[in-house]
Structure 1
Amino acid sequence: MLSKSFAITGLFAAFAFGSIVPRAIVSSGGTIVSPTSGSDATAGQSIPFHYFDRNKCESGYSLITVYLLDAAPTTLDVTDSGTFTNFVFSFGNFLIPNFGLPPMTSPTPPPPTLTIPDLGPSVPDGELFFSIIETFRDCPPDGHIEFGLSSTPIEYHAV
Structure 2
Amino acid sequence: MQFLSFVVLAALTLAHTAHGATLLDKRQQVVSAHGTTTEPVDGSTITPGSTFPFHYSDVNFCESGYSPIHIYLSTSAPTAVDVTTSGGLVDGSFDFDFGNFLIPNFGLPAMSMPPPPPGTLSAPTLDGVADGTELFLTVVETFLSCPPDGHTEFGFETTTVTYA
TM-score normalised to structure 1 length: 0.86
Aligned partners of 1:10, 1:130: CA distance in 2, in Å? Answer: 38
SS at match of 2:18: helix
Q: Is the 8 A contact 1:27 1:75 kept in 2?
A: no
**2:130 paired residue among 124, 127, 132:** 124
Shift of 1:84: 1.2
Q: As a proportion of its length, which structure holds more helix?
A: 2
Please state if 1:151 is matched with 2:158. yes
Provide the identity percentage. 49
Q: Gapped runs of 5+ residues in structure 1?
A: none
Q: Is the 8 A contact 2:78 2:94 kept in 1?
A: no
SS at match of 1:8: helix
Match of 2:60 in 1: 55
Equivalent position amino acid for 1:26 in 2: V
Equivalent position amino acid for 1:124 in 2: A
Q: Gapped runs of 5+ residues in structure 2?
A: 1-7
Equivalent position amino acid for 1:129 in 2: F
User: What are the Cα deviations for residues 34-65 of structure 1, in whole angstroms up to 9, with x where unaligned?
Assistant: 11111000001111101100100011010000
Structure 1 residues 84 and 43: alpha-carbon distance in aligned structure 2, compared to 1, 3 A threshold: same
Aligned partners of 1:10, 1:94: CA distance in 2, in Å? Answer: 33
Over the aligned positions, Cα root-mean-square deviation in angstroms equals: 2.3
Of 104-113 and 3-12, deviating more is 3-12
Runs of 4+ in structure 1 deviating by more than 4 angstroms, as ranges, are 2-5
Aligned length: 152
Larger Rg: 2
TM-score normalised to structure 2 length: 0.84
**1:34 paired residue among 34, 39, 47:** 39
SS at match of 1:79: coil
